[in-house]
Structure 1
């Protein structure tokens, strides 16, 4: 032992376990042993005034705060060891460790042990094999929740009655207001209505400025590389998809090139200056529908489309700025989980549907020859047959050349009868009026199945590697690295698979020259000269619909991103976000670029790729979610890369489109994780005994949960039908209708049920809080001033009111301890002799008529 204490304090111990210990941790050393010179056990519990390094006493160089020493006569080693294990178990308990820090004497420690025993769970040895290791729970109750349970116990309830009361209230459809309830639905102070001109915008800027430097240096982390590559591929795929659809809808007034430049410009500016840089901007389906209807209307009425669109964009931008100036975003606080989950689930389903739809399209473009038979392989051919000579004419076209000859174009008249039609390619055959004859002409071998392998392989491998962090293979850092770069590894692997087979699968095509898609338009749209003057004023009406669409898409996505489940440290900026969306909308309108708004699925994927977990979890313990790496670097780099992708076209052309469709599918599926609506949908297929232990199942009857879920499913189906028709232009109005539906649910479900499966609407919550405050004032009288000034650390208040919530009171305050001054030892007992301590519980109410009865022997604690 002397050699251990004489070890130099500055010698670093080579122990990997030090990486698992949190910062500023302190050690509790439990030392037990048997010696020959003692006739009875000696016990000491020591708390040092300052944590001190004790050399090699601890396995890792951590300062020691507590020492428990037990020495006894020989022959009782097993008993001493069990006592040491019990003390170690006590010291790792959150509440008892607080007691140990604040205890003044032995009685306080015994009171803490007694409270611990009231909460401990005992497994009978006949029902459980002690040799079986119990996995650490994924989530444990917080100390605050356990303290609230202690408070319930103090007012006369037995251990466990609190949970039963809460469950019973839920089962009955409404318990007491003072019973266990979920946390209050709070959006945050960012959505408070200030009543001043641009008051919300000013406060957003004031809140975000202190975080601005950290938004950059916190982004320099290896995890950011994975997030950049993942979101970049999702953004360019989205830009190409929507750019192509916009080109078809607007006769190429807006195409892929405009989509790329608009995404790069708007996205980078938003991530640089907006209030929530984790949000990713993109074109959305409702905007695409609006653009198509606007183009058709302009074409049918002789109105110049680009100029008309410019004025709509300017009016909409002005309306967005008016909403910012009047703090109109505060209405978002009335959007509860019901609306949030309906909107996010719809967007997730759109991503999943589009990814699968594109793969089905590949099967149609490259169909599988299901009638092929190996015996008829000699008949499996395709030939180009010349047209009828009677109808043959001369074409002024370049002459086709054989594959091995020099590529020379002949512009003179060409006699089709002199062509060797058997040497023409499929494209040339159709160009010169020939026809394809043969059973293989309609089929391209292997491409459909190969595309499906690339599509599903990318999705499944990304999903598998993302869960690799929780596997049993490789060290923790390797598992975390594989999980963080799961999407990158999947994309690279299946790009390599495609290159190895060398099949002509559809590839990513990016424009290589920066110029407008149409040659008759430039990069600036002039506001006057092509339309009548009344068009400039009338455009305010369709702009109002665009404003509603932009406002709802942007703010609902912002609410989803800023959820408390993501544990964001830095304040949100709803007004600042909408301000920049309006400014960018005006800029994009002048340049003839698409309009951009927050993309729900890609934003959620961005957050998922930046999640942080504890690196100090004990071996076998589940890592705890810490929050999200909040910064601006990843978003800025993603959109800068999107802009310079035009120059990376020679490299990006090797990426197969089915691989990117697999990334789309993963984004859609991954964004469904953590959505309570999706969890409740799966309950329809589960027997009651196999249902997970969701907290809302403890408090709300299953039939009420199913009814609430069915209402959401019906609303989601209506939104999907509207999205799939021309009526998609009123999609934002239907999102507002979801808020009305949620209001009507107050007449169907009790507030207790809605508090667990949704959120209580703010007015009702505020009224409920006011009622509670009035009730507390009636009970406490003028005791509020006493609550503001608490006792110093380590002090105990024995005169606390029943409604107090101090930690000392919840553990030790109402305990009266009587110990014999000189306890006798009975050496005939099978375990070491220890003093008997009786603990009596005082009444919670100072009633002199109440008789204090000692607790039974089952509550006696030995130390």
Structure 2
């Protein structure tokens, strides 16, 4: 097995290193299939009476041992996949999954008992009967049983029925049990006594004894065939939660009165027992642990066997048990397990709050251990490797302060901090000429990124269509179309209504719907990232408002100015594409995205509130009755609009809380979340028709299908008068068009980059060909909008998030206690094409859409604003600063970070957001409507300030990388560099980190890589984290 194919970086042939638990221990090697860790299901079975007095064995039982099979059964009392579940005999159900606590005294007792009575049996048996027969033989040899009758009764007990509470009916290895007794009857030879002359063959028994024996056996078989015991062999639901290659371990415990001493046996099967119902899951059985004994007041066999079952959940313990040769190896493995265990004293006052504090301490301990082991492994790599690419780094760090160390590692990676003692001479600061060469190489030759992106784009497109029609994807793809249709329809109608009433009446809702549908269809068909959605967004609405305001003030035809602005935007797009500016998208950080999203959220809130407040009249025009009546009607309309808008807001927020709660079944909650916005619109429309019909509230203006006017679908400028500037000078027109075109290009580039980043968050694996998105959005679409008079479109990150949520592939059968996790995304183009077509065809739904009051649209804007701020790290940090520090542990974004650093960084972000909101307010209430389009310049200046100035602030730079992480546009492939000299302990302990000591850049220079950056900065990509918005 090649090392690069080994997930854990361990060479299967190199087994020189073993666990160091403070005492000798077995080597670790083979408890892994290929490169994948074997998942183990552990089950604890307790011997319980099946009938009254079943555990009291009389002479009649010893005369007919088969009857012992009917007197007892093995009851499953606990099970482990990742967490423990105990069977509640009163509630007749398993408890909630939980971490397994143990008493320290039980561990000590188990070690003492193992040293005194323990035995390891490694066998090639492939059936349960033969395996349990070896256990019975050991009991005879070790003196646990004294006679043949006791031996037979013990074997019958071991083969008794297994009762698994979640599997209907009785479960038993009837075939193996029948084969065992048939062989005993036919051959008359007991394998345990085949060498004893006192045991004869069947001919030595009387016919009456044989008939009695056969009669007992027939009764046993007939009992299993009774109708009230339907035969269900396995728990298929639980089996589905286990991955391929999983194995099982069964721990059997109980009290048997005729045993002379405890029987403690660990059976390690070289060949797993398959299709055996000793466990409730249909997976091979690798281990069987038996702990039986005579009645004792000092020992609880069930508790001691549970200790072993709990330890089997530890990967290091399992690896040791797998290689154990004798009982001392098991004891050493237990000692090693206890070295990494935490002891919690039983407090008199135990409550969830105190336990929550303990959980945080455990997390801190785990981080400390992981960093210790990881850096020891890294040091050993450096000291033992002879590769010239690796450098000799001195081991002089204190890894106890894990959070601070991770910050130092991140800072070193981005060359923020430079420690001469920790960096080799080859890592010295690059010269000015090398930086200049690297800068030139990044932007030259022209269009190289575009031509490089054509091949991955061409390779991706066919698979996007094939993947949509795979059997497992059909329901996801076509089931998401309705949800995504409403997600794109609602903003299109809302922005269309605002454009029609506040910018230019020529922007009809039909025009907005048609343009949005066409842009979505074409973009999905040709884009480099088809998971992204495009359309009219808040920045584009601000831009349209600014264009209309500038054209009005300068006495220029707005259509003419839009056309030239679109042409210049396209020219700037060609310039960006030629300079390979798409690489700049890889430097977008979380703070830039959050400032942008915060600005958009505040825009939604303020725009809807200002629009509704404008409906309130200042007063009657005069004192006439008609004027007073008109004033009262306008007040009523304004009040009803505000009321319905807040009803819509509260209704959508309530549905969002229901979706995140535990009311109803998951499918119902998912449907309510998917239809949140349309249900809200339906509610407001019903309220308007029932209670506010006489108010004549403003509604969506869209003609019915029979009165559709094709000319209203386009708003084209007069092509014959493109050079007719009227009273304005050509220099003024083109100067303003260049300024607007440059601003539009920056806005589109930023939104498309954020759109691509968002589309990669749910574990997307296909390449994100960003240059194709730039070609469409910044070069082609602006020209189309300028020529046809359609609204300018850009990347819609919130709608893209909703697309990810709709197309996500979840682990539908997680192990008990493990939440549903994202395992991938259906990366395809079919659903986007259907959504685009349906949105375009919505122009023929005028007879239905005309019933929707504008209050519903304003309420949706409020909802979009509220949900846009929720879950932003900036917003959470501001809330955390308003709380005492002991409550900060509720949020990962502030955990372990100094309060002063959080405060300073939050103040910087707040200042930028305040400037952007102030510009928005100025553009709303003053004649300088164009002031709003300055916001991309402010965001660009902040990004430059973040990359150049803040890292130079030594006090803040130490934690800057944890406060503000970097995004990636493409899937991240982690490569673990672990040498063969690493022990198995070190390899497994670093399972969840990606250690990369050194790497070579494109110029052959050795650069220091950080494993923490791979884990923490890209956590959104790896964990499938999608921020909650109005659409998700």
Superposition deviation, residue 683 in structure 1: 1.7
* Greater Cα offset, 627-636 or 741-750: 627-636
In structure 2, C-alpha distance between the alignment counterparts of 1:244 and 1:351, rounded to whole Å? 14
Superposition deviation, residue 256 in structure 1: 3.0
- SS of 2:401's equivalent? helix
Query: What's the counterpart of residue 734 of structure 1?
Result: 938
Superposition deviation, residue 756 in structure 1: 1.4
Relative distance call for 1:810 and 1:502 in structure 2 (3 A) is closer
The counterpart of 2:882, out of the listed 675, 685, 690, is: 685
* Greater Cα offset, 580-589 or 711-720: 580-589
Is residue 666 from structure 1 mapped to residue 863 from structure 2 by the alignment? yes
Superposition deviation, residue 482 in structure 1: 4.2
Q: Deviations over 1:471-525 (max 9, x none)?
A: 4444444444444444455444554444444635443332441433499x65985
The counterpart of 2:767, out of the listed 571, 580, 584, is: 571
The counterpart of 2:464, out of the listed 212, 225, 229, is: 212
Is residue 274 from structure 1 mapped to residue 553 from structure 2 by the alignment? no
Query: What's the counterpart of residue 28 of structure 1?
Result: 249
In structure 2, C-alpha distance between the alignment counterparts of 1:496 and 1:267, rounded to whole Å? 31
In structure 2, C-alpha distance between the alignment counterparts of 1:583 and 1:57, rounded to whole Å? 66
In structure 1, C-alpha distance between the alignment counterparts of 2:864 and 2:478, rounded to whole Å? 18
In structure 2, C-alpha distance between the alignment counterparts of 1:517 and 1:808, rounded to whole Å? 66
Is residue 507 from structure 1 mapped to residue 711 from structure 2 by the alignment? no
Is residue 707 from structure 1 mapped to residue 904 from structure 2 by the alignment? yes
* Greater Cα offset, 135-144 or 340-349: 135-144
Matches within 5 A, 1:377-456: 436=626, 442-443=632-633, 451-452=641-642, 454-456=644-646
Superposition deviation, residue 718 in structure 1: 1.1
Given that residues 237 and 813 in structure 2 are in contact (C-alpha distance below 8 angstroms), is that contact kept between their aligned partners in structure 1?
no
The counterpart of 1:744, out of the listed 936, 949, 961, is: 949
Relative distance call for 1:286 and 1:67 in structure 2 (3 A) is same
In structure 2, C-alpha distance between the alignment counterparts of 1:604 and 1:481, rounded to whole Å? 17
Superposition deviation, residue 461 in structure 1: 3.6
Given that residues 511 and 712 in structure 2 are in contact (C-alpha distance below 8 angstroms), is that contact kept between their aligned partners in structure 1?
yes
Matches within 5 A, 1:601-612: 601-611=798-808
The counterpart of 1:6, out of the listed 153, 156, 173, is: 173
Superposition deviation, residue 712 in structure 1: 0.7
In structure 1, C-alpha distance between the alignment counterparts of 2:797 and 2:837, rounded to whole Å? 20
The unaligned stretches of length 5 or more in structure 1 are: 183-191, 370-383, 386-434, 763-783, 791-798, 812-863
Query: What's the counterpart of residue 988 of structure 2?
Result: 807
| Length, aligned pairs only | 698
- SS of 1:29's equivalent? strand
Superposition deviation, residue 313 in structure 1: 1.8
Matches within 5 A, 1:402-551: 436=626, 442-443=632-633, 451-452=641-642, 454-468=644-658, 471-501=661-691, 503=693, 504-512=696-704, 513-517=708-712, 525=719, 530=724, 541-542=738-739, 544-551=741-748
Superposition deviation, residue 709 in structure 1: 0.5
Query: What's the counterpart of residue 53 of structure 1?
Result: 274
The unaligned stretches of length 5 or more in structure 2 are: 1-158, 162-170, 177-230, 380-396, 417-440, 924-929, 969-974, 993-1032
Is residue 598 from structure 1 mapped to residue 847 from structure 2 by the alignment? no
Superposition deviation, residue 708 in structure 1: 1.0
- SS of 1:92's equivalent? coil
In structure 2, C-alpha distance between the alignment counterparts of 1:342 and 1:594, rounded to whole Å? 25
Given that residues 469 and 480 in structure 1 are in contact (C-alpha distance below 8 angstroms), is that contact kept between their aligned partners in structure 2?
yes
Given that residues 347 and 600 in structure 1 are in contact (C-alpha distance below 8 angstroms), is that contact kept between their aligned partners in structure 2?
no
In structure 2, C-alpha distance between the alignment counterparts of 1:574 and 1:105, rounded to whole Å? 60
Relative distance call for 1:547 and 1:354 in structure 2 (3 A) is closer
Superposition deviation, residue 42 in structure 1: 3.2
In structure 2, C-alpha distance between the alignment counterparts of 1:67 and 1:641, rounded to whole Å? 60
Query: What's the counterpart of residue 926 of structure 2?
Result: none
In structure 2, C-alpha distance between the alignment counterparts of 1:482 and 1:518, rounded to whole Å? 33
Query: What's the counterpart of residue 306 of structure 1?
Result: 559
Query: What's the counterpart of residue 821 of structure 1?
Result: none
Superposition deviation, residue 328 in structure 1: 0.9
In structure 2, C-alpha distance between the alignment counterparts of 1:669 and 1:737, rounded to whole Å? 27
Q: Deviations over 1:396-442 (max 9, x none)?
A: xxxxxxxxxxxxxxxxxxxxxxxxxxxxxxxxxxxxxxx61666861
Relative distance call for 1:206 and 1:119 in structure 2 (3 A) is farther
Given that residues 567 and 741 in structure 2 are in contact (C-alpha distance below 8 angstroms), is that contact kept between their aligned partners in structure 1?
no
In structure 2, C-alpha distance between the alignment counterparts of 1:756 and 1:345, rounded to whole Å? 20
Superposition deviation, residue 111 in structure 1: 5.2
In structure 2, C-alpha distance between the alignment counterparts of 1:754 and 1:529, rounded to whole Å? 52
Relative distance call for 1:661 and 1:757 in structure 2 (3 A) is same
Relative distance call for 1:333 and 1:510 in structure 2 (3 A) is same
Relative distance call for 1:194 and 1:640 in structure 2 (3 A) is same
Alignment RMSD: 4.9
- TM-score scaled by structure 1? 0.68
Superposition deviation, residue 167 in structure 1: 4.6
Matches within 5 A, 1:106-505: 112-127=333-348, 147-151=370-374, 164-167=400-403, 193=442, 195=444, 197-208=446-457, 209-210=459-460, 211-214=463-466, 216-217=468-469, 228-247=481-500, 251-295=504-548, 305-361=558-614, 364=616, 436=626, 442-443=632-633, 451-452=641-642, 454-468=644-658, 471-501=661-691, 503=693, 504-505=696-697
Given that residues 238 and 281 in structure 2 are in contact (C-alpha distance below 8 angstroms), is that contact kept between their aligned partners in structure 1?
yes
- SS of 2:798's equivalent? helix
Q: Deviations over 1:634-680 (max 9, x none)?
A: 43333322211111111223334333333333333333344221111
In structure 2, C-alpha distance between the alignment counterparts of 1:142 and 1:165, rounded to whole Å? 10
In structure 2, C-alpha distance between the alignment counterparts of 1:359 and 1:12, rounded to whole Å? 65
In structure 1, C-alpha distance between the alignment counterparts of 2:313 and 2:354, rounded to whole Å? 18
* More contact order relative to length (CA 8 Å, sep ≥ 6): 1
